[in-house]
Structure 1
């Protein structure tokens, strides 16, 4: 029996994410929470002929507590999407309080659940969740994940397109490390399971790296003020959630990049810090998943000089983003 909860289930990411989770037979109970519309979304999804029993909750009558009771997996896509011209600092100011409130609910009702944070900016919202859990003495770094899967999905898709065969996209594996915004996104294209064409270098390679790093801007611009990357993010969130569930159920050898607290695997975390040359608390790296969450944080491995420079360029922004999240909780009364 697996109970999954989506916090922010009526939003642009929440609705398609809930649909994808409902369609997966591994999930037997799906609980939806948002400030509006969740009973309707739940009623709609409940007519789909798959095992998951669906329920929708609103804030009145302790809706958040009811939604979270018995949860094994909690996914947080709640918050405001980024709009054209909106800086990540502005986005943080809006979403930080939302995430903190939801994290408090999880910490008090379902502290042992795996928590998957989608709400942007992930580099700052994951530290908020962790700090809230610390305040409630239930912090387990192995169980809190920043979902960076969309960067991996984009990298796989773009590489498959470049090699001229999109049918290979599901099989292309490109590790993407660092964080989940702009220059903190570091695709390790040299480790792609499907090598780029010979001679694909210089400006072409730089353009591909930039597209992976700023793919979100591409979507925001194309939607012309009507939203951000919701459908692709829902797909990526569901992909990572199912990997966590499979690992929870005992499947071995599952490795996926995720933005995690490096004490989730102290030895692996320390080794990674030496590789990146910085004493960061969080970093997105390929992590091995198990029944209790993170088993191992894998190293970056052999990377090119250009990729080393990308990692170096990511560190200042990552440091600032992480501290922004931690500082927010220090100011809070929660």
Structure 2
């Protein structure tokens, strides 16, 4: 256990200020040594985002084993990442015949399969490209690791989370608390955009995001932002437009960072550490939508508490209303595909 005496603490405060102490003792970095047994399977590890996400996840003290899977092209990545001398072991699985070994006994399955898309592709285009493969892998998860948490990053998440959910229902193993859609990239983009505008440290900015999981359906709640939320209407509209810019959702490095944050938050929850983030989950929070993104607390069994929708300004209500139809349409498309294929 890390022990620092009072004099050393005072010295650190004087020389480096509070940010260093916060980094040392935050839940992300200051963890009991016994947390070393979470197994994560990455489906689609051979992609560009998969490469970087694997690098970041290999460095996490929360993970005991990182399983990298793709149909091909993952062996070199696995060897390269395995050379990083951290506690997390790396195993590589390639091809359909090795998929069962990649899934059996895992704690978290990360869906990163298919095309990440690029402008001017629409959500409908991405769904057409990625739905069949996502459904096929969901069938395998239902049969081989029904108790695992399924983290869905494959775009469009608004459609893929319902698709995966419906597949799990077909096998009688559906648990809505364990099917989680990633919205972390929207949150970090909102945080960074506000921090950049106000020339402050993005690590200490938090902007809640609600609504859908895609860039254009995720509504940033600037009225609930920390450490400041007193924005003029003109500034609010400018920031929201910048945050919800659809073409900003195709970065590789930021996406990999978001994936790493997403998985580590789920892993902390598995060990009963305080673990809160925005996520797209089965929810009755918003009337008319069976799935919704808002702040969620995670625990050993997935979703532990849904914090719902906080008080909104008239402008935020209008934004949420404007994205509801698109989110609902994508939810229905995902459910329909799973039932008919």
Q: Are residues 1:52 and 2:88 paired?
A: yes
Taking the aligned partners of 1:120 and 1:312, their CA distance within structure 2 comes to: 22
Partner residue in 2 for 1:223: none
107-116 vs 51-60, greater mean Cα deviation: 51-60
Taking the aligned partners of 1:153 and 1:330, their CA distance within structure 2 comes to: 34
Taking the aligned partners of 1:105 and 1:111, their CA distance within structure 2 comes to: 9
Q: 2:133 aligns with which of 83, 88, 98?
A: 98
Taking the aligned partners of 1:210 and 1:147, their CA distance within structure 2 comes to: 21
Partner residue in 2 for 1:66: 101
Partner residue in 2 for 1:238: 260
Q: 1:247 aligns with which of 269, 272, 279?
A: 269
Q: Which structure 2 segments of 5+ residues have no match?
A: 1-36
C-alpha displacement of 1:182: 4.4
Q: How does 1:1-334 map to 2 (within 5 A)?
A: 1-60=37-96, 62-165=97-200, 168-196=201-229, 200-214=231-245, 216-218=246-248, 228-252=250-274, 254-262=275-283, 269=284, 272-273=285-286, 278-332=287-341
C-alpha displacement of 1:93: 0.2
C-alpha displacement of 1:300: 1.5
Partners of 1:183 and 1:313 within 8 A in 2? no
Deviations 1:99-127 (A, max 9, x none): 11111111111111111110000000111
Taking the aligned partners of 1:218 and 1:255, their CA distance within structure 2 comes to: 24
Taking the aligned partners of 1:217 and 1:16, their CA distance within structure 2 comes to: 21
Taking the aligned partners of 2:49 and 2:215, their CA distance within structure 1 comes to: 20
CA RMSD of aligned residues (A): 1.4
C-alpha displacement of 1:218: 3.1
Partners of 1:39 and 1:55 within 8 A in 2? no
Taking the aligned partners of 1:18 and 1:183, their CA distance within structure 2 comes to: 27
Aligned pair count reads 305
Q: Secondary structure at the match of 1:13?
A: helix
Partners of 1:96 and 1:125 within 8 A in 2? yes
Deviations 1:142-175 (A, max 9, x none): 011000010000011111111112xx21121111
Deviating above 6 A after TM superposition, structure 1's stretches of 4 or more consecutive aligned residues are none
Larger gyration radius, structure 1 or structure 2: 2
TM-score, normalisation: structure 1:
0.88
Partners of 1:288 and 1:296 within 8 A in 2? yes
Q: Secondary structure at the match of 2:63?
A: coil
Taking the aligned partners of 1:9 and 1:211, their CA distance within structure 2 comes to: 30
84-93 vs 133-142, greater mean Cα deviation: 84-93
Q: Secondary structure at the match of 2:121?
A: coil
Taking the aligned partners of 1:201 and 1:82, their CA distance within structure 2 comes to: 35
Taking the aligned partners of 2:127 and 2:133, their CA distance within structure 1 comes to: 10
Partners of 2:161 and 2:181 within 8 A in 1? yes
